[in-house]
């Protein structure tokens, strides 16, 4: 999902209102500071133009692959924990 940080803040505020401030969550946020390429000649990170960076982030945010992988991890974690004595009663 691609959005601005302001949009993300609004979504988070809505989730806090509906689920409570202490509700658990797992989050991954990638910003313009993550769209870099290491330059071995200068030994520094090279950043890209705003348009280039926004296009890269939009591609990442529009990918269903990442969501599918996260939901697979959630399903695996649920199956594992359902077998543990701590959670069975």
CA distances from 82 to 14, 79, 86 (A): 30, 5, 9
pLDDT tens across 13-40, in order? Answer: 999 999 999 999 999 999 999 999 999 9
**Predicted TM-score of the model (pTM):** 0.77
SS3 content of the chain, % helix, strand, coil (to 5): 55, 10, 35
pLDDT at 88: 80
> What are 36-55's pLDDT values in tens digits?
999 999 999 999 999 999 99
Q: Tell me the Cα Rg of the chain.
A: 18
pLDDT in tens, 69-85: 999 999 999 999 999 99
pLDDT of residue 44: 96
Runs of H (alpha helix) within 20-88: 50-61, 64-82
């Amino acid at each position: 999902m691609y959005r601005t940080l302001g949009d993300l803040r609004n979504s988070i505020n809505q989730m806090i209102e509906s689920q409570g401030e202490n509700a658990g969550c797992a989050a991954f946020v990638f910003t313009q500071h993550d769209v870099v390429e290491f330059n071995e000649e200068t030994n520094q990170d090279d950043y890209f133009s705003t348009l280039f960076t926004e296009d890269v982030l939009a591609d990442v945010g529009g990918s269903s692959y990442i969501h599918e992988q996260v939901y697979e991890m959630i399903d695996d974690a649920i199956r594992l924990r359902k077998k543990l004595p701590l959670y069975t009663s």
